[in-house]
Amino acid sequence: MFRFETLRPQQDDRLAFLKGFLRQPRDVGSVIPSSRFLERKMVRMAGVAQAQSVIELGPGTGGTTRAILAAMPESATLLAIELDPAFADHIREIDDRRLIVHQGSAEQLAEVIVAHRLRPPDAILSGIPFSTMPHEVGTRIIEAIRDVLAPGGRFVAYQFRAAVAERAKPILGEPEVSAEFLNIPPMRVYRWRKR
């Protein structure tokens, strides 16, 4: 039986996401959250089902966060790093013991991992808009990702524009690229594996 309550978190998420976009359009990068099709593709490409340590950069209102939690093992840990304080508070409402929410910049990825006593991540998923951030900030984030990923770890990013691939190629090499057309707007999903 379908119940109205099942829709409520998604409606709240959409409103919170729109408010976040209006507050900080350069940091959010879209007016609506990701589709469930994009969320599933990200989780699959990152190998979340086999990961013990997962990091999400820019969880926004938590759609992808919930998809990650649904897919990852009970013994795994998810660290969600969100720059926007209102979004971070929104994510903290997700009731799951495996979730750690950190409000701050992805530039401090190594320090955040140490502060929370986490192991190197098997997967890092990112929705942060590399196309709207200063070039040097994006480069520092990509370098931090390279430095913290476990051997064989995967970095997966979804973007409307190719800025993440342009910045990451000199640091991480050539990505695998997949498109998700069942999203508004359609997105490219990039994946790198650490040797």
Give Cα separations from 184 to 30, 48, 66 (angstroms): 9, 24, 19
* Digit-coded pLDDT (tens) for 170-188: 999 999 999 999 988 899 9
Q: Which of 143, 120, 101 is nearest to 52 (CA)?
A: 120
Q: Which letter does DSSP use for residue 107 in this model?
A: G
Q: Which pLDDT value is given to residue 31?
A: 41
| pLDDT at residue 20, as a whole number | 44
Q: Binning pLDDT at 50, 70 and 90, where does residue 32 land?
A: low
DSSP string, 48-88: GGG-SEEEEE--TTSHHHHHHHHHS-TT-EEEEEESSHHHH
Phi-psi category of 62—alpha, beta or left, where left has phi over 0 and alpha has psi -120 to 50? Answer: left
Please state the pTM of the whole predicted model. Answer: 0.84
Burial of 14 (0-12, 13-18, 19+ CB in 10 A): middle
Average pLDDT, the chain: 87
pLDDT of 54 reads: 98
pLDDT in tens, 142-155: 999 999 999 999 99
Confidence of residue 24 (pLDDT cuts 50, 70, 90): low
pLDDT in tens, 1-20: 323 233 334 545 544 444 44
Residue 4 CA: distances (Å) to CA of 7, 8, 9, 37: 6, 7, 10, 21
Separation CA 80–CA 48 (nearest Å): 14
Q: Which two three-digit tokens encode residue 84?
A: 């926007």
Mean pLDDT across the stretch 58-68? 94
Q: What is the pLDDT of residue 184?
A: 87
- Going by the DSSP 8-state scheme, the letter that residue 11 receives in this structure is H
Q: Which domains does the chain have, with CATH numbers?
A: 4-193 (3.40.50.150)
The pLDDT, as a whole number, for residue 23 is: 46
34 confidence band (pLDDT: 50, 70, 90)? confident
| Nearest C-alpha neighbor of 141 from the set 168, 170, 102, 166 | 168
